[in-house]
Structure 1
Amino acid sequence: MSTPSGTGPIDMMDPDLLRDPFQGYSRIREEAPATQGVILGQDTPVWLVTRYDDVKTVLSDQRFVNDPAAVPGGEVANLREKVVQARGIPQEYAKYVLDSILDADGADHLRLRRLVSRAFTARRVLELRPRVEEITEGLLAALPGKAGPDGVVDLLEHFAYPLPITVICELVGIPEEDRASWHDWGRGLLSLEPGAMSGALVAMVDHIEVMVARRREEPAEDLLTALIRVHDEDGDRLGTDELITMVLTLVLAGHETTAHLIGNGTVALLTHPDQLARLRAEPELVPRAVHELMRWCGPVQGARLRYATEAVEIGGVKIGRGEPVMAMLVAANYDPRRFGDPDRLDIAREPEGHRETHVGFGAGLHYCLGAALARQEGEVAFSALFRRYPGLALAVEPDALERQYLPSSWRLARLPVRLDG
């Protein structure tokens, strides 16, 4: 792995860095608070910002934008567009992953966010909790029937994924019979395999178009119907492509991250029996534990690319206008300048009743829209899982767990467990 003191930019696909991004990016952070890296073989280097305060600046300072077209004074190459093109995504479908609410800035971002923000307010999320608990209990009750001949259950496939995808699909309005397909499509889109990515995206977009037509004929009490109503009544507030992109983004973002928070968090607790014992003894710590798990083993390790709208000094280096920047959440969340003994898992670390100190859900105007829902799903999942299966144990050694090695992500490929130890 090249380092800031080495001869070239850091390869973000370096196997050592992918296997242990926590220590890897912590070492990079201490050598240089801002350094350059390359992602997925692209020629254009990316500035990697690693220290907590600098990461908060990149995420919150309006001199950094998500859309390179918003950089004044000339055309700036869209690095994500290059990645999409390299993965064989058909040009007519690329816009659905390049022009989402996650990529918008300023007034466009606020316009799109306001259209769906009511569905994710703290009050609305609290109202959803009984349904989240009901789904959770049903999935847990079914787990014994999912075990193979050896008694092993894949908890990722049969619990961590189905919980959030059921919740977000019910909220958006995706029929139950289509949810397994969305799970497969999401996995294909994030696989980085060209054929799987393009096939999944085409299938999702085509399916959304079918759902939109169906909802126009049969409106329902769901977010899709509400978005269609906005589009049909005022196309200036939500265009046709924007409607499709919004549904795609909500469903993918609404289950992928949470599924891996549950998966990663389960492994963390099972491998730290002192913390699991304390959680069982003090169930009121569950909300704080979810925050700590998001800090300690969060699934999103690098934020979406930003671009400097002007020359900015960050971490002692000058980032030029138009240069791409990635805020490394994993490095910030392990920064000893902000967190005492950051390598230690401490489920009581987060102060009770205060806004989170970690940056696992981002910060600033692009702070995760569904953070409250993700936290609630995590709280319900961990509470119910360890209550119902007190003997839950990993079926393999922790080092033998198979992971999906993707840049800026920490994701299991599967989570084999035994329900009774």
Structure 2
Amino acid sequence: MLDPATPDLHGDNERLRQAGPVVPVTAEGVPAWAATRYDTLMTVLTHPDLTRELHHWSGRDALPPGTAIDRIVTDTSMLNADGERHRRLRMPLTTAFSQRRLNGLRPRIEELTARLIDRLAGMPPGEPVDLRLEFAYPLPREVISELIGIPEAHQDDLHRLTDAVAQVGGLEDSPELRKELRELLDRIIEERRGTPGEDLISDLFALHEKDGGRLSEDELFATIELLFIAGHVTTVNLITNAIGALLTERGQLDLLRSGQCPYSAAVEETLRWDSPIAYFPMRYAKREVEIDGVRLRPGEPVLACFASANRDPRQYGEDAGVFDVTRPQFTHLAFGHGPHFCLGAPLARLEGEIAIKALFEAFPEMELVRPVAELPPLDTLLGNSTRTMPVLLGPRAR
């Protein structure tokens, strides 16, 4: 039984890998197979007899409502589409995350980061600062808001609700809160119909008007909602986890500060060593299929264990559990693989690199208030991070 509140995710995953490549688990009351190892997960993510389309799941009628699994598997966007429908839903978004669009975003990301650094520097000296709340969260939230085109008038309400989704601040995530968030996003999308701009909502509306058969009204709404939520919450975890790793492994931080390794290496090693996503549901067997000696019956679900696969000693050697920015290969599955590879991966990498470089250059004496292992986990099946990242910043570099 997978424990969303486990204080030792990586220890749990080591036991899963030892139990086998495809292991029977219960997650949020749902029986499933867990793909625990790197090669196995690669197979699951690309196997033609496994699909993300919910109607193939034989146990879908018994799915407990309101859980993280329920929210993911019932999403009607490209997340749970395959084949031609997936290509049709995904294609309009490729320009939003093109290299040209990202190159245009870099100065804005740097500006937002510098503003957050200035704000941190103005906080009372000598008092702990929660960098998840004050730095790792607001940066990707602001970036995705601008990329998608969230009007300023709605940003406070939207931020209040997404605080809970990202597990910062005082609000708790819940089905009721998700419903309120969805209604607010729907209202924003409707309002934007008459006010086009240089943003993703406008791009998708233009496409919808030009070729109504490409995206239905429901698909358009579901796509924007998916991109807003998925487009920043995992990056919050990435930046939080990178801060914790580098403040714990000071020798690795020295390699970055000396220029021996680029900050991009720290981003990639964080993605591998402390994947922002722990487990991700589901893929379903369309017919009887055998994976690594385990026979799946038609309709059985498979859970993707990203954090487990990314520490698989069979892929990375006996030091797979060591954070090492000099690692010769940075292949990992943190962004998935195959047709569903994360569209926002280049943006997350860019934000992560800009953020941690600016932060550690600004506060060279920064240190943890408590060891990362003692910090409360997110308490969710999906995300892998801590609820807080309290540090003492120390003086700002001059």
> Alignment length, in residue pairs?
390
Question: Deviation digits for residues 217-246 of structure 1, max 9, x if unmatched?
Answer: 221111111112222333221111112111
1:269 is matched with 246
AA matched with 1:347: V
CA contact (8 A) 2:149 2:199 kept: yes
2:337 is matched with 363
How far did residue 39 of structure 1 move? 1.1
1:4 is matched with none
Alignment partner for residue 157 of structure 1, among 128, 133, 141?
133
Distance (whole Å) between structure 2 residues aligned to residue 258 and residue 217 of structure 1 = 31
1:344 is matched with 322
Identity of aligned residues (%): 36
Matched, 1:76 2:58: yes
Distance (whole Å) between structure 1 residues aligned to residue 251 and residue 72 of structure 2 = 48
Single out whichever of 99-108 and 280-289 deviates more from structure 2.
280-289
CA contact (8 A) 1:189 1:198 kept: no
Single out whichever of 263-272 and 129-138 deviates more from structure 2.
129-138
1:399 is matched with 373
Distance (whole Å) between structure 1 residues aligned to residue 309 and residue 67 of structure 2 = 30
CA contact (8 A) 1:146 1:158 kept: no
Residues 239 and 305 (structure 1 numbering): CA distance in 2 closer, same or farther, change over 3 Å? same
1:24 is matched with 12
Question: Deviation digits for residues 13-69 of structure 1, max 9, x if unmatched?
Answer: 275xx2112122122212311111111123xx1001111111100011121111132
AA matched with 2:142: T
Matches for 1:22-421 after TM superposition, within 5 Å = 22-42=10-30, 45-69=31-55, 71=56, 76-78=58-60, 82-85=63-66, 98-147=75-124, 151-189=127-165, 196-282=173-259, 284-340=261-317, 341-351=319-329, 356-420=330-394
SS state of the match for residue 120, structure 1? coil
Distance (whole Å) between structure 2 residues aligned to residue 232 and residue 420 of structure 1 = 53
How far did residue 209 of structure 1 move? 2.8
Residues 276 and 202 (structure 1 numbering): CA distance in 2 closer, same or farther, change over 3 Å? same
Residues 96 and 25 (structure 1 numbering): CA distance in 2 closer, same or farther, change over 3 Å? closer
SS state of the match for residue 139, structure 1? helix
Distance (whole Å) between structure 1 residues aligned to residue 166 and residue 118 of structure 2 = 30
> Which contiguous aligned blocks of 4+ residues in structure 1 show a shift greater than 4 angstroms?
94-97
Distance (whole Å) between structure 2 residues aligned to residue 206 and residue 34 of structure 1 = 39
Distance (whole Å) between structure 2 residues aligned to residue 399 and residue 325 of structure 1 = 29
AA matched with 2:77: S
Distance (whole Å) between structure 2 residues aligned to residue 269 and residue 350 of structure 1 = 18
CA contact (8 A) 1:303 1:328 kept: yes
Matched, 1:13 2:11: no
Distance (whole Å) between structure 2 residues aligned to residue 395 and residue 289 of structure 1 = 21
How far did residue 195 of structure 1 move? 8.7
Single out whichever of 392-401 and 367-376 deviates more from structure 2.
392-401
RMSD of the TM alignment (CA)? 2.4
1:6 is matched with none
Stretches of structure 1 lacking an aligned partner (at least 5 in a row) = 1-10
Distance (whole Å) between structure 2 residues aligned to residue 159 and residue 212 of structure 1 = 27
SS state of the match for residue 98, structure 1? coil
Residues 133 and 97 (structure 1 numbering): CA distance in 2 closer, same or farther, change over 3 Å? farther
Stretches of structure 2 lacking an aligned partner (at least 5 in a row) = none
Tell me the TM-score normalised to structure 1 length.
0.86
AA matched with 2:10: F
SS state of the match for residue 33, structure 2? strand
Distance (whole Å) between structure 2 residues aligned to residue 198 and residue 329 of structure 1 = 25
Residues 248 and 50 (structure 1 numbering): CA distance in 2 closer, same or farther, change over 3 Å? same
Residues 396 and 297 (structure 1 numbering): CA distance in 2 closer, same or farther, change over 3 Å? same
Distance (whole Å) between structure 1 residues aligned to residue 12 and residue 193 of structure 2 = 50
Question: Deviation digits for residues 310-369 of structure 1, max 9, x if unmatched?
Answer: 111112210111100012112211111110210111112154xxxx51111111110111
SS state of the match for residue 381, structure 2? coil
CA contact (8 A) 1:156 1:259 kept: yes
Distance (whole Å) between structure 2 residues aligned to residue 142 and residue 97 of structure 1 = 39
SS state of the match for residue 306, structure 1? strand
How far did residue 96 of structure 1 move? 10
Distance (whole Å) between structure 2 residues aligned to residue 156 and residue 133 of structure 1 = 18
SS state of the match for residue 170, structure 1? helix
CA contact (8 A) 1:68 1:77 kept: no
Distance (whole Å) between structure 1 residues aligned to residue 16 and residue 58 of structure 2 = 27
Residues 394 and 161 (structure 1 numbering): CA distance in 2 closer, same or farther, change over 3 Å? same
AA matched with 1:386: F
Residues 180 and 155 (structure 1 numbering): CA distance in 2 closer, same or farther, change over 3 Å? farther
CA contact (8 A) 1:12 1:37 kept: yes
Question: Deviation digits for residues 168-187 of structure 1, max 9, x if unmatched?
Answer: 11000012353343343234
How far did residue 82 of structure 1 move? 2.1
